[in-house]
């Protein structure tokens, strides 16, 4: 499928998605959100990739939601716009594929919320993060009030949301918003290398591990432990478990098939 505001490339089963509205700093309008929604469906249905990397064209990752589109909305339309963004980002979060955000520049508002819906966030030393919505007279609308405190803790999240201030990549690393900071020219190669390292492992095991972590964080530890036990058991119904353990005993590299 051809996209107007996104670029999708799949190489060696690694999908790379670039948000491509550099003239608007890749701001998220309704059209872009709907395209991204369709792209996620395409990836899920095709089975063509084992990992996904997301980045932005130009000097922004995603600078936020499109203010020009939002300015004239009434309460009902504003709620619908927020619900669209939140639904698409939740679909991204629930995607079985491991998702890496390669944050190359501004990740503000909806861009920060997009990054937070990814499994792993790497940042360029030029990246800046923030939830500046209160400076525009609104709250974060694409689930930022829910994901940010889960990632950095309630106190730091409230500081960032209530002030609307931006933080640089080094501060994002310090508070746990990103897991690594690289030089700008090293960011995408590092993200792709990480994706390849993950993708060489058993696909179902990675997917089950993602589900165990994400769903476990949303419940109490005893329920999470029981969930892990169920998913651990399911691994033994896969061909990759048999191949992985046989390869280990035979002292060779496994040849996983994703089944």
Cα pseudo-dihedral 155, 160, 166, 171, rounded to 10:
10
Instruction: List, as one string, the DSSP characters of 90-102.
Output: HHHHH-SS-EEEE
Place of tokens 């990759």: 240
Place of tokens 């909806």: 110
Q: How many whole angstroms separate alpha carbon 176 and alpha carbon 151?
A: 7
Contacts of 45 (CB under 8 A, 6+ apart): none
Give CA separation, 110 vs 54, 102, 146, 197, 209, in Å.
14, 15, 13, 28, 27
Residues belonging to the active site: 113, 133
């Amino acid at each position: 499928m051809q996209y107007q505001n996104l670029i999708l490339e799949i190489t060696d089963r690694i999908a790379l998605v670039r948000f491509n509205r550099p003239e608007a700093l890749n701001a998220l309008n309704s059209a872009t959100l709907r395209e991204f929604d369709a792209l996620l469906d395409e990836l899920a249905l095709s089975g063509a990739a084992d990992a996904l990397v997301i980045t932005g064209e130009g000097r922004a990752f995603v600078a936020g939601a499109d203010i020009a589109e939002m300015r004239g909305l009434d309460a009902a339309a504003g709620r619908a716009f927020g619900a669209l963004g939140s639904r698409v980002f939740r679909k991204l979060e629930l995607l079985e594929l491991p998702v890496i955000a390669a944050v190359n520049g501004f990740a503000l508002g909806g861009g920060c919320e997009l990054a937070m819906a990814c499994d792993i966030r790497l940042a360029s030393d030029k990246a800046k993060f923030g939830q500046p919505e209160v400076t525009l007279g609104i709250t974060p609308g694409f689930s930022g009030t829910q994901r940010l405190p889960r990632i950095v803790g309630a106190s730091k999240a409230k500081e960032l949301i209530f002030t609307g201030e931006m933080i640089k990549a080094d501060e994002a690393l310090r508070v746990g918003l990103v897991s690594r900071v690289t030089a700008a020219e090293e960011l995408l190669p590092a993200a792709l290398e990480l994706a390849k390292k993950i993708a060489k492992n058993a696909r179902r095991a990675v997917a089950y591990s993602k589900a165990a972590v994400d769903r476990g964080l949303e419940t109490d530890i005893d329920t999470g432990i029981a969930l892990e036990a169920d998913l651990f058991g399911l691994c033994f119904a896969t061909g990759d478990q048999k191949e992985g353990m046989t390869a280990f005993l035979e002292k060779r590299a496994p040849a996983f098939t994703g089944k």
